[in-house]
């Protein structure tokens, strides 16, 4: 089982955002990480939902199919768990994530506090410097 932390960060001055994903094994060792820069999205929830979706795609690209995904947006985690109204602005991303869940043997989501997601957040902020 892998633990996958994902996060997003805004760079207001540049009108861009960064997404980061960190994959750890059962010993807590980093197995893979991903940093991407995006055009700034409309809301924090949208950015966090995009980060969750990218984390799921990254795991698929790595050929890993058993994961616990951890993010620090309670709204996004609740939406991914099905505890969010369908009229939300992130519903199309949530639907995409749910379709990606079908390709995983084990897939669950967990809300963590920002302090517990520190590595993913720090790396997402470093996306500012990537090309």
pLDDT per residue as tens, the chain (131 positions): 899 999 988 887 778 888 999 999 999 999 999 999 888 767 888 999 999 999 999 999 999 988 999 998 898 998 888 866 665 788 899 889 888 887 666 777 888 865 555 555 555 555 555 55
1 closest CA partner among 70, 61, 66? 66
User: Rounded distance, CA 9 to CA 66, Å?
Assistant: 26
- The neighbouring-strand residues paired with 37 are 18
pTM for the full predicted model: 0.81
Domains of the chain with CATH codes: 2-129 (3.30.420.10)
């Amino acid at each position: 089982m892998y633990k996958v932390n994902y996060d997003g960060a805004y760079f207001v001055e540049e009108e861009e955002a960064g997404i980061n994903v960190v994959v750890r094994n059962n010993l807590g060792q980093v197995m893979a990480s991903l940093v991407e820069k995006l055009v700034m999205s409309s809301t924090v929830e949208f950015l966090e939902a995009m980060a969750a979706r990218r984390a799921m795609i990254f795991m698929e690209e790595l050929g890993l199919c058993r994961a616990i995904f951890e993010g620090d947006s309670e709204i996004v985690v609740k939406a991914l768990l099905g505890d969010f109204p369908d009229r939300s602005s992130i519903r199309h991303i949530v639907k995409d994530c749910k379709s990606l869940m079908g390709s995983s043997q084990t897939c669950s989501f967990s809300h963590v506090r920002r302090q517990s997601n520190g590595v993913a957040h720090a790396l997402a902020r470093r996306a500012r410097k990537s090309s």
